[in-house]
Amino acid sequence: MKIHRNIALGVVEGLRQILEKKQALRPSLSQLLKQNRRWGSRDRRQLGEAVLDCIRWKRTYAYLGNLDSQSEYFFWELLGIWMLTKEMILPEWEELSSIKELKISIPLNLETTDRKIRTSLPDWLDVLGIENYGETIWEKESQSFNTPAALVLRNNTLKQDSVSLKKQLEKDFTIKSTEVADIPQALVLDKHYKLNQNPLYLNGAFEIQDANSQRVAHWVNPQSNHLIVDACAGSGGKSLHMAAMMQNQGRIFALDPHPIKLDQLKIRAKRNGISNIQTLDTHTPDFFNQQQGTADVVLIDAPCSGLGVLRRNPAAKWHMNPEKIKKVELLQRDILQKNAPLVKKGGALVYATCSIFPNENQYQIKHFLETDLGSEFELIKEETYLTHQTGFDGFYLARLEKKE
């Protein structure tokens, strides 16, 4: 196996955009592929794999090659180390001349190599993990960040049940899947497939959604007569799930400050056969006054560090830092204060993040409950779902109820 120079140039450009310019991983990759439509499917797969691996293992690769991150050819050298891990012969390229004679040995020794190097973590994240989870659990969790994430579907129960979807996927498309015992609509596929042109997907039979992410709607427990507010809806994966559980009855207000994401939600809702979702810009005048005390449940799937989903987005560990997380925490507090008044007496507030760290989760809920507004609520239950324990994305969930 070898890599062509035009693909290598694409990998280096992707690394520069994501690691140097701090651009989002998936949009950067998508844009790179759109700009180079002449690449074949094998080349596109190879580029995606190389970019993801170089980002995921950046610190490990830098250690193996004794690389200088300030070097002019740092991103080329990361790619070169990736080639060596794949047992490729290094091309005679000037950018790789400094590592031409390099011999590497992997995997790294568990006892003699620091965990930060072995699992490719920034120092601050390793310290945060140890402080919150201790050596034993953090060792397992940090290792799990580097395991491939499964492709998980959520079947749309407005179209068909999970059993029939599972059978149809295998019969018509030879796609094998496994059900998840305690997550009713989840199907874990045996491998990754390109599904965006699959007829079942185009007909709204399923959405792609991690299994632990699917737990969120079940914690909301929406009923067909409920009024639900999805306060941070994004492109609406959880709104769609709740709408299906409500049998397309009741009403969901899906709020987000980004119109592009709300437009995506409208497209997805139409594909799913869903009509009980109303999209609103977060800054819509008078909404919060008019709807105060009316919602059966308010879901706050809060903006967060994303440090529970490093398997899918390894760039987050290089984009985030303690200062940025502090700003995220302040935003989370503001969102709680802004949206909690929408809950009616006897109603519920469900708070979720795809982070596993208490400063964004348990401590936020504790702080909220100690405020004047929070004193009207009581914590019913909370749970942190770790990747190494569940096999899925890291998530935190809390359910609070407003006192009668």
| Residues catalogued as catalytic | 354
Q: Rounded CA gap, 287 and 234, in Å? A: 18
Q: Which of 319, 309, 296, 207 is nearest to 249 (CA)?
A: 296
Give Dmax over CA atoms of the chain in angstroms: 73
Q: Is 179 helix (H, G, I), strand (E, B) or coil?
A: strand
Task: Measure Cα distances from 179 to 57, 69, 162, 164, 323 in Å.
Answer: 31, 44, 8, 12, 40
Tokens of 68: 């200088």
CA angle 146, 147, 148 (to 5 degrees): 115
Q: Which of 184, 193, 235 is nearest to 214 (CA)?
A: 184
- CB 231, CB 339: distance < 8 Å: yes
- CB 8, CB 96: distance < 8 Å: no
Q: Which of 69, 70, 67, 75 is nearest to 95 (CA)?
A: 75
Q: Rounded CA gap, 401 and 394, in Å? A: 24
Tell whether omega for the bond before 199 is within 30 degrees of 0, i.e. cis.
no
Rg (CA), the chain: 23
Q: Which of 115, 138, 128 is nearest to 388 (CA)?
A: 138
Give the neighbor-by-neighbor strand order of the sheet with 295-301. Answer: 277-281, 251-256, 227-230, 295-301, 343-353, 395-402, 377-385
Tokens of 47: 């580029």
